[in-house]
Amino acid sequence: MQLNSQRLKIIPLELQHFKLLLSGVDKMEKALNLSPSDSGLNEHTLSAMRWLYGQAENDKENYLFYTNWQIILKSENISIGSACFKGIPDNTGTVEIGYGIDEKFRCKGYMTEAVKEILKWALAKNEIKCVTAETEKDNIASHKVMIKNGMILFKETDSTYFWKTK
């Protein structure tokens, strides 16, 4: 399975590719025949990905809600970022997404484009009624991704904003 936009393809990693990602981005890229991105995962992201991988292993039927969705720039066949769901929909049909893009590919509209396709996929599923996301208050670029995708601000803390689909 993969999602496609004009410039991107978004691939939810199969478990064997997700496991490779945890041992090195380069290993996952090689297995998917992608051009090397020379990027890695910071410790915070790696820790989150390890947890998600464990969940995916334990709930293979719902792995799409735990796996990493690799964002590939078609023109260069290179991974430029990723997104994920943070678990299966809750009892209200709400699911949370998270995402990140390599610094050299920021401010080009790629993440807005990727999130649009991921939201479209999620909201087409009967069990999903709402998608939420959390952004740091100082991450203006991420706020723009939310706004351009029609998400609305519904809650805030001292450091973060929470967004949801309408």
Q: How confident is the model at residue 35 (pLDDT cuts 50, 70, 90)?
A: very high
Q: Which spans in the chain are helix H? A: 15-23, 25-31, 43-58, 110-123, 140-148
The span from the CA of 66 to the CA of 86, in Å, is: 6
CB 114 within 8 Å of CB 83? yes
pTM value is 0.95
Q: How confident is the model at residue 128 (pLDDT cuts 50, 70, 90)?
A: very high
Q: How confident is the model at residue 51 (pLDDT cuts 50, 70, 90)?
A: very high
Give me the chain's average pLDDT, please. Answer: 96
The span from the CA of 72 to the CA of 57, in Å, is: 24
* Angle, CA 82 vertex, CA 123 and CA 34 arms, to 5°: 120
The span from the CA of 99 to the CA of 101, in Å, is: 7
What confidence score (pLDDT) does residue 153 get?
A: 98
**Chain segment 68-125, per-residue pLDDT in tens:** 999 999 999 999 999 999 999 999 999 999 999 999 999 999 999 999 999 999 999 9
Identify the structural domains of the chain with CATH numbers, from first to last. 3-129 (3.40.630.30)
Length reported for the chain? 166
Give the three-state DSSP class for 88: coil
